[in-house]
A and B are shown apart, each in its own frame.
Chain A
Amino acid sequence: MTIVETQNLVKRYGDLVALDHLSLEVKEGEIFGLLGPNGSGKSTSLNCILSLLSFDKGEVKIFGKTMKPDAYSIKRNIGIVMQNVAVFDELTVYENIDYFCSLYVPDKKQRKQLVDEAIDFVELGEFRKFYPKKLSGGLLRRLNIACGIAHQPKLIILDEPTVAVDPQSRNKILEGIKQLHKQGATIIYTSHYMEEVEQICTQIVIIDKGRVIASGTKEELKAMISMGEKITVETFSISSDQMTALRRLPGVITAEYADERLVIKSEKETNNLAAVLDFFKNESITFGRIYSELPTLNDVFLEITGKQLRD
């Protein structure tokens, strides 16, 4: 079942086209990753989907119904975790979650149980009487998440929830998202951290300049590019003749040497590492560490757009 569907969404800010005929389809039970560099249109597309932002063209359907600002039956089943922490400084942790939950669940008894569960979920039990200003950045992000998911929605939208969060809190947040998914929620997750998207998303769309440039599972995305392996060799020196010879090796796409580090990108299904080792042995080049990596989503983005995800 399709949970969210956008067709040919166009959003312009004057001459700037923020969304350029963006079409997305999120199926039930997916963790749908929207990946793109800063300013690529991730948040804009979410705000248009949620009917918060007007758009020039296109259509948005959620749960099979057209999304409108007064589509309360749809909104009741959506949980939002904003990019910026959106809580009241004057309310405690418990009161904040209870307040936002009360917008969805009027029944006090039912709400109390949901709020307690949300507090347990984000592990803020010992901070329930704390005011947000007393919380660290990571705890604040967890509170932000709790406020968005306490009413146990079917669709959860998380807009870069790990920005400016320490690694420990980030891991907790990612584990929490996986848990929500296991509990049956469909999740839309935006980020410019490719590692996070790779780690948790079952379906990924890469966007740039408001357009979809690639979509699929992470395996499908990596299969789209010619690079199959990236070999890194730490070595003190290598001559230009040796670099030229290295680039002529079968399967080598590119070879770059900088800062005593040689990076070789090779095609798929070739015995690249063995060939590189043989080359170093034959040329009597001394080297330190040598290691091989599979392509990342950043490599996918780089090959398709010619620029880094974090540019």
Chain B
Amino acid sequence: MFLQLFRYRLKCLLRDRLLIFWTLVFPILLGTFFNMAFMNLNNDEKFEPISAALVTGGGANDAIFEQTVHQMSLGKDRLFNLKTTASKHQADQWLKKGKIKGYFTDGPLIRLYVQETGISQSIMKTFADHYRQNSSAFADIAKANPEAIQKGLLDDLSQQRNSVKEVNTGGAKPNNVLNYFYTLIAMACLYGSFWGNKEVCDTQADLSSRAARLNLAPVHKLKLFLAGCCADLLIIYGEILILLAFLHFILGIDFGTRTGLVLLTAWIGSMLGLTFGTFVSAITRKGENLKFAVLTAVTMAGCFLAGMMIGDMKYLVAEYVPALAWLNPANLLTDAFYSLYYYDSLNRYLINLAMIAVFTIVFGFGTYLMIRRRKYANL
């Protein structure tokens, strides 16, 4: 009997094109748009060497400066893509044509020529200032204390040392774009609530005549409901797996190396979505369309606070209203996926997962309390 109920329910649900669109096609389309919008976001933040020129042979050459500029133009992490010329006129032509951002002339007074202001020009100015400060300091010390040169002053000044060490907290690189896609998965999980809504509407006799007919059949209401929920869960999880596969294999979204835990999170997220839908549907005493609207609004508000539309929102909420971050299922799901991707430790992930499980249990139990009655005051 249970299998028969499950089979027919599955058939019914799979043929609901509207819900399939909102719960499967729409997240895939949104993911595609996200990819188109954000694909260059990380690339934009990478530092590109500055096209610069050095005019040499201006009389009193500063060999050290020339050497320094050349050194800064070597290697993978170079500061400049350097052109050298002996003609200032040539450098001006490059600058006018936009081939370089600026050029240095050496001599007793280092000069920087630029056509406009910007980050590249600021970096060039900072570099020149830095060089001048160091060389000036070196000259002053050498004048006051010549022995210092023999004691390795020159080596000390020429070496760059970092006072702050970067420590990577996980095995992955920080990636601002991933959060958008993780909120998208959270949204898809919570859109599973639409199936839960449909389930309650087809179970509560005061919500549809179909449900009234089912309530009059010699079958326990809970058995009917559970058979339907199993079919719902299978569909939601199937949809999330398709979405994950699309994001990973087609769009190249990285989920880290813990595939098993990613799948587990998707499963728990599916259960959260389903119970969220059944709960909201059970407590809202209005028509199916209004319930649908409530679920959509709550899900989208949750995704907004989790950073779906504005990336920094997630951090603002965590900083100023931390309780809201913990009470937002969309944020918990997003954070669970990000924790799996970014952190070596599972602590943060497990806390998120535990909170999601608590929400699922609360929503599930609340649904049971609301729909367990077998007689209705109104139909």
Q: Chain A residues in contact with chain B, CB under 8 A?
A: 13, 43, 47, 50-54, 69-70, 72-73, 75-76, 78, 80, 82-88, 90-91, 95, 99-100, 102-104, 106, 147-148
Name the distance in Å between B291's Cβ and chain A's nearest Cβ.
Answer: 18
Q: How far is the CA of A106 from the CA of B13 in the complex (A)?
A: 22
User: Quick check: is B84 within 8 A (CB to CB) of the other chain?
Assistant: no
**If the complex has contacts A52-B205, A82-B209, are A103 and B379 also in contact, measured as CB distance less than 8 A?**
no
Which residue of B210, B214, B215, B378 has the most chain A CB atoms within 10 A of its CB atom?
Answer: B210
The answer to whether A54 and B213 have CB atoms under 8 Å apart is: no
* Total number of residue pairs linking A and B with CB closer than 8 Å: 78
Task: Report the 3 A-B pairs with minimum CB-CB distance, sorted nearest first.
Answer: A69-B374, A103-B217, A72-B218
Are B1 and A80 touching (Cβ within 8 A)?
no
**Given A80-B213, A95-B11, A53-B4 contact (CB < 8 Å):** no
Of B8, B208, B214, B216, most A-chain CB atoms within 10 Å: B216
CB-based contact A80/B4 at 8 Å: no
Distance of A88 Cα from B213 Cα, bound (Å) = 11
Q: What residues of chain A lie closer than 8 Å to B214, measured between beta carbons? A: 103
CB distance from B181 to the nearest CB of A (A): 32
B375 within 8 A of A: yes
Q: Is the CB of A86 within 8 A of B11?
A: no
Query: Residues of A contacting B1 with CB < 8 Å?
Result: 102, 106
- Cβ-defined contact, B217 with A75, below 8 A: yes
In the complex, what's the smallest C-beta–C-beta distance from B203 to chain A, in angstroms? 13
A-B contact pairs, 13 of them (CB 8 A): A47-B379, A51-B374, A53-B378, A54-B377, A70-B374, A75-B216, A82-B212, A82-B213, A87-B210, A88-B210, A90-B12, A90-B16, A102-B8
B:314-352 near A, CB below 8 Å: none
| Closest A residue by C-beta to B215 | A52
Closest Cβ of chain A to B128, distance in Å, is: 73
Partner of B216, one of A52, A70, A73, A85: A52
The 0/1 profile, CB within 8 Å of A marked 1, for residues 213-228 of chain B is: 1111111100000000
B12 x A54 contact (CB < 8 A)? no
Complex contact B376–A106 (CB within 8 A): no
How many B residues face the partner with a CB closer than 8 A? 28
Given A69-B374, A102-B4, 5 more pairs with CB closer than 8 A: A53-B376, A53-B377, A86-B208, A90-B15, A100-B213
Closest residue on chain B to residue A70 by CB atoms: B374
With known contacts A86-B210, A106-B1, A52–B375 Cβ distance under 8 A: yes
Contact A78 B15 (CB under 8 A): no
Which residues of chain B come closer than 8 Å to A69, judged between CB atoms? 215, 374-375
CB A112 to nearest CB in B, in angstroms, measures 13
Tell me which residues from 12 to 30 in chain B have a Cβ below 8 Å from any Cβ of chain A.
12-13, 15-16
- Which chain B residues have a beta carbon within 8 Å of chain A's beta carbons? 1, 4-5, 8, 11-13, 15-16, 205, 208-210, 212-220, 374-379
How far is the CB of B145 from the nearest CB of chain A, in Å?
Answer: 91
Residues of B within 8 A of A50 (CB): 216
Task: Report chain B residues within 8 Å CB of A106.
Answer: 1, 4
Which residues of B are found within 8 Å of A73, using beta-carbon distances? 218
Query: With A and B bound together, what is the CA distance between A14 and B370 in angstroms?
Result: 22
Indicate whether A86 sits within 8 Å of B212 (C-beta atoms), given known contacts A54-B376, A75-B217: yes
In the complex, what residues of A have CB within 8 A of residue B5's CB? 102
Given the complex of chains A and B, what is the CA–CA distance between A85 and B208 in angstroms?
A: 10
The residue on A at minimum CB distance from B205 is A52
The answer to whether A95 and B212 have CB atoms under 8 Å apart is no
Task: Say whether A75 contacts B218, CB under 8 Å.
Answer: yes
Q: How far is the CB of A145 from chain B (nearest CB, A)?
A: 12
B202 to A, closest residue via Cβ: A88
In the bound complex, CA of A90 to CA of B235 (Å): 16
The answer to whether residues A80 and B216 also contact, given A91-B8, A102-B4 and a CB cut-off of 8 A, is yes
- Name the CB-closest residue of A to B214: A103
Looking at B4, B13, B217, B220, the one whose CB has the most chain A CB atoms below 10 A away is B217
Q: How far is the CA of A102 from the CA of B213 in the complex (A)?
A: 13
Contact B219 A90 (CB under 8 A): no
State whether B379 touches A52 (Cβ < 8 A). yes
Tell me which residues across on chain B come within 8 A of A53, comparing CB atoms: 375-379
Q: Which residue of chain A has the shortest Cβ distance to B219 in the bound complex? A: A103
* Chain A hits for B374, CB < 8 A: 51, 69-70
**C-alpha gap A88/B16 in the complex (Å):** 11
Q: Can you name the residue of chain B whose Cβ is closest to the Cβ of A111?
A: B4
- Bound complex: CA of A255 vs CA of B209, how far in Å? 46
- A10: min CB distance to chain B, Å: 14
What CA separation (Å) do A47 and B16 show in the bound complex? 30
The residue in chain B whose Cβ has the minimal distance to the Cβ of A90 is: B15
Contact A13 B378 (CB under 8 A): yes
Question: What residues of A have a CB within 8 angstroms of the CB of B210 in the complex?
Answer: 86-88
